[in-house]
Amino acid sequence: MRRVAILGGTFDPVHLGHLIPTVGAAETFGFSQVVFVPAYDPPHKQGSVMAPYSHRFAMLALATQPYDRFFVSDLELGRSRPTYTVDTLREFARHHPNDTLYFLMGSDSFSQLTTWHRWEELVDLAHLVVLRRATIWGEELLACTPEVLRGRLVSVTLFQQVPDPPPAAKLIYLLEHEPFPVSASLIRQRLQAGQTISELVPPEVHRWVVKYGLYHQVSHGC
């Protein structure tokens, strides 16, 4: 049975902090595919100014092109209501009935899991793989984990083979790796301050940001 991973987010913009840990997770778990799903209308960003979906999708497509197992999905495109992760996962489960699904998320997001829409349903749709963020890990993360989920936690070491989960179980894997200390908000702040981001994003993404003048970056076009 194939292992298929899903990574959702606004990706505003996609950066190496998304890609490097995901490469490690793909190698550790032996994912056949990793599907990046840019949010079309994320409920936690209501009222925020984001780059248009078309730009965020295009940057993801450029960033993932070098990776044979990485794909970008427009599953959430055009939904007329806020797009919730639980609905996206349920749709993936329908489309991949013979695959084992994993959902990748940062430890900062996992620490706020109980604020997510229908989170109790979400954790039974796919195995979770929690990627280490610099802001929270270890005992602090455990303290934020709902008691009902603590028995599902499994610590995994980067690049060590992960055995198949028990039948019908939905586990929560904590992937031990060095965090990559960068965020999309930091990148936007650096651009707005006229600072370089070339070391924080793939070169294709950097060129796209400059070409289209995203995040107050001055375009060199006509």
CATH class of 3-216: alpha beta
Give the helix ranges, DSSP H, for the chain.
16-29, 53-64, 85-95, 107-110, 119-122, 138-144, 184-192, 203-212
Rounded to whole angstroms, the Cα distance separating 127 from 16 reads 24
Task: Provide the pLDDT for residue 220.
Answer: 46
Of the CA atoms within 13 Å of residue 201, those in its CB half-sphere come to: 28
> Rounded to an integer, what distance in angstroms lies between the CA atom of residue 31 and that of residue 12?
25
pLDDT digits (tens, 9 = 90+) for 83-128: 899 999 999 999 999 999 999 999 999 999 999 999 999 999 999 9
* pTM summary value: 0.93
For residue range 152-204, list pLDDT tens digits in order. 999 999 999 999 999 889 999 999 999 998 999 999 999 999 999 999 999 99
Interatomic CA distance for residues 204 and 176, integer angstroms: 29
Q: pLDDT band for position 46 (50/70/90)?
A: low
pLDDT-derived band at 44, boundaries 50, 70, 90: low
In whole angstroms, what is the distance from residue 79 CA to residue 82 CA? 7
Instruction: Kindly report, residue by residue over 111-123, the tens digit of the pLDDT.
Output: 999 999 999 999 9
